[in-house]
Structure 1
Amino acid sequence: MKSLQGKTAIITGASSGIGAAIAKVLSGEGANVVLAARRIDKLKEVEQVISSQGNGKALAVRTDISNREDVENLVKKVEEAFGSIDVFVNNAGQMLSAAVQSGKVEEWESMIDVNIKGVLYGINAVLPSMLERSSGHIVNIASVSGLEVTKTSTVYSATKFAVRAISTGLEKELARTGVRVTNISPGMVDTRLSKSASDRKKLKAEDIAKAVMYAVTQPDYVNVNEITVRPV
């Protein structure tokens, strides 16, 4: 297993749920983790927990992932604090009213801004330096909703189909550059976003964090392109 000791990872949507779990798991293996989200109070709570573990360092940076300038400033702050960025986890996401018949255009726009534009802004901000070093790993958290569509998930599924398409195309673009791309599609996870689906069996956030850990600790010549994680 490749060591994460001294490596630096940015995790978006890290104030709770899957993002916080990813940050804690990567830090536990010695990585410096940068926590990015809009809720700075929640980020600080996660930062404190990680710092108390005594492994990798933690840094909380308030970031609106749908704002390109915010994302670029995030990357600049991380480079100033830690130098190079080794792992970038595009985890931030929104799951709002997604049926076309609902007519909730503002909610669709918000999902598109966070789930698609936010992913692209993050990739665009970290990719040049990764290519320059011929090293780095981009992990995009999609969803099983990007594999199949229900009658109530149309727009949300469209955004997660887009994440998978970005991951697939980027992996081909970056072949033999040294920069790796992994797309992870979780099933229903017990987080703030899934509270309305209380009658269904759910994964734990830590299950997705372990999938991220598996991908980013493979030898440099191994690129894990796609992981789907579902509850039994």
Structure 2
Amino acid sequence: MTDLVALQAANANRWAKAKLTRNFTAVAKRLAAPEAKARYQAVSARTGVPWAFIAVAHEREASQNWNTQLGQGDPLGSVSVHVPKGRGPFKTWEDGAYDALVNCAPFAARNKDWSIGGTLTMLEQYNGLGYANKGRPSPYIWSSTDQYVSGKYVRDGVYDPNVVDQQLGCAGLLLAMMQIDSSISWDMTKADAAPKPPPVPKPPPSTPSVTSPAKGSLGAFFVDLFKSILGRK
């Protein structure tokens, strides 16, 4: 069984170091375009899954084809034959996306950890954990960044270490989209997301009085003098 906590840490570490090795700008602009973003946000509102997560999954599964199912890229109007099998048909892309995120493993709508490690690991689970089980970075996430060199499952259960994935990976897409849309942020951890307690206010400075004059004042001199005469400390 894959250690998902370790995988989250590995993906967060790769994210911190990752550099793009191809130009992601055109695809990132297409995914973040206002009309596309509005459709992703509509599904996000129904599922609780961040819209940018939905966008990059849509790109990887179907090159942002709106006539396909989000879960595996099969035609929207047909019953799916790829995993997840037996889904659909759906009348709209949004309905298919809702089904993929809510009703199909790994059930992204149930995810509570949207830190960058949790986000990338959830995306990786959609593609499968075969790479993680081999100790290799998943091209689904890291293709076209310096965190991935080669290795790809060319079909179910068949891994070729020499094949290089030519699609843009999810991590690079997110990095590029963040440069275009400032509302996207994947650096929040659970601790960062928790409301911070209000600062404890400093007590107001005491107001000088006859019995408690300001330090260094003439009044303070006479009070100290009076105490010394009476033998008080």
* TM-score category (smaller protein): under 0.3
TM-score, structure 2 normalization: 0.26
TM normalised by structure 1 equals: 0.26
Task: Tell me which protein shows more strand as a share of its residues.
Answer: 1
Q: Greater CA radius of gyration, 1 or 2?
A: 2
